[in-house]
């Protein structure tokens, strides 16, 4: 079966259909052989979408690109990232009601889709890893950290060590942005379910759980949306 590709800002997200569902994997950039090698690296590519940069010498075939105009949501502005549209559509169709999708990747995006399937707006801020890198780059004494698997395991909410203080501070800042967005939406009287996606979604879910929230966790929501929409085309 063919591959599906979502080109993100910092990673390439892949999927292949299997009998038991989608097999998903992630790579830091173009796959081996995608640029300049002999053969046809995109021969089995079923569909793709992109928000990040594409290889200049051998980009994916444009006829297999899935654009924003193909996402069946109402009132989508032309500037909206296809990843947000796909994740919002997939959460909305799975929920069968209004959703607030928090995608915790390079960018932490909040996307509100109402019960009628209309894009109602959102919020954007720096994601967890980007916050950590930015603090290291913009300060003289703070280290540059990478968001690793251990992030979010710090039991002490007030660490004494600098690295742990950065980890807990940035993770808490991301969770607070999601929590405030959720509270603002609930205060408006719009019934919605919170969905978490992206590489740092699981870490945020743990912090939000401490605040009494139980979001639906779907790390690869945008890829699932791409796969579903490709089948409908």
Residues that are catalytic: 83
Query: Six-digit token pair at 33?
Result: 């052989």
Query: Six-digit token pair at 10?
Result: 């910092």
Consecutive H or E run containing 148: none
Query: Six-digit token pair at 78?
Result: 């032309």
Distance set, CA 195 to CA 89, 113, 122, 141, 208 (Å): 12, 11, 14, 36, 12
What's the CA dihedral at 103, 107, 108, 114 to 10 degrees?
A: -60
| Adjacent-strand bridge partners of 3 | 16, 45
The rounded distance, in Å, linking the Cα atoms of 221 and 197 is: 6
Contact predicate 89/73, CB 8 Å: yes
Contact predicate 79/90, CB 8 Å: no
């Amino acid at each position: 079966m063919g591959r599906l590709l979502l080109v993100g800002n910092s990673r390439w997200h892949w999927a292949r259909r299997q009998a038991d569902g989608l097999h998903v994997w992630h790579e830091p950039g173009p796959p081996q052989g995608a640029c300049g090698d002999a053969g046809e690296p995109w021969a089995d590519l079923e569909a793709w979408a992109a928000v990040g940069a594409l290889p200049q010498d051998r980009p994916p075939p444009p006829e297999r690109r899935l654009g924003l105009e193909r996402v069946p949501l109402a009132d989508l502005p032309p500037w909206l990232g296809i990843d947000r549209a796909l994740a919002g559509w997939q959460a909305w169709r799975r929920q069968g009601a209004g959703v607030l999708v928090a995608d915790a990747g390079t960018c932490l995006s909040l996307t509100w889709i109402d019960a009628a399937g209309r894009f109602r707006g959102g919020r954007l801020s720096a994601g967890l890893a980007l916050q950590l890198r930015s603090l290291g780059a913009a300060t003289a004494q703070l280290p540059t950290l990478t968001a690793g698997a251990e992030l979010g395991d710090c039991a002490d909410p007030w660490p004494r060590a600098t690295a742990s203080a950065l980890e807990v501070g940035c993770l808490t800042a991301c969770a607070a942005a999601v929590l405030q967005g959720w509270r603002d939406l609930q205060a408006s009287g719009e019934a919605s379910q919170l969905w978490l996606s992206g590489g740092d979604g699981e870490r945020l879910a743990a912090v939000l759980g401490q605040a009494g929230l139980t979001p639906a966790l779907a790390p690869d929501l945008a890829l699932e949306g791409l796969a579903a929409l490709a089948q409908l085309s």
